[in-house]
Amino acid sequence: MKEGIHPKWYPDAKVMVEGEVVMTVGSTQPELRVEIWSGSHPFYTGTQRLVDTEGQVDRFMKRLQRREELQASQEKKEEKRSPLKLSIENMSLGTRAEKALESADVTTVGDVMELLEKGEDALLALPGIGQKALIDIKRFLRAEGLIE
């Protein structure tokens, strides 16, 4: 064993609780001050206090209800903000393309998505919709996260 690298060992170190010596143990410090020990801990003494649970369930239910209300309000906001319900004017396609879509009874972004699901040719078949309008539509849909 190397000399001078180990702390001093106290074989009879005093364990102090509230100023009283309750036991002695081996330690690297001469005195150990603790707030609780096995002689005063409720688990070991058998004097466990009963926790009043009245009100805890009520508080939990209130928190749960508030959380559900927040989720419902967020879902409503998301529904209102849903890009599928936006009108085609929000796509900034230009007057000619917007009129062409309106004449084909395509008034929302969701309607445009339905046409696009049938294929690009379904959109290009509408009079007044060309490659530029198709590119602008796809750019808007990508920006809103509706297509990749």
The pLDDT of residue 70 is above 60 = yes
Residue reference for tokens 């206090």: 49
- Residue 69 forms part of a structural domain: no
- Residue 75 forms part of a structural domain: no
- Residue 67 forms part of a structural domain: no
Question: Against a cut of 0.85, is the pTM above it?
Answer: no
Q: Over the range 83-114, which residues count as b (16 or more CB within 10 Å of their CB) and which as e?
A: beebebeebebeeebbebbeebebebbebbbe
- Residue 23 forms part of a structural domain: yes
* Same domain flag for 41 and 87: no
pLDDT digits (tens, 9 = 90+) for 1-39: 688 899 999 999 999 998 889 999 999 999 999 988 888
Please tell me which residue, 97 or 53, carries the higher pLDDT value: 97
pLDDT digits (tens, 9 = 90+) for 138-148: 888 888 888 87
97 with 136: CB under 8 angstroms? yes
Joined tokens for residue 126: 């509408």
- What is the span of the domain harbouring residue 36? 10-45
Domains in the chain, number: 2
Distances (CA, A) of 60 to 54, 74, 107: 11, 21, 46
- Residue 28 forms part of a structural domain: yes
CATH of the domain at 134: 1.10.150
Residue reference for tokens 């603790």: 34
* Same domain flag for 37 and 89: no
Pairing of the two strands 20-27 and 10-17: antiparallel
- Residue 127 forms part of a structural domain: yes
With residue 20 as reference, give the H or E element that holds it: strand 20-27
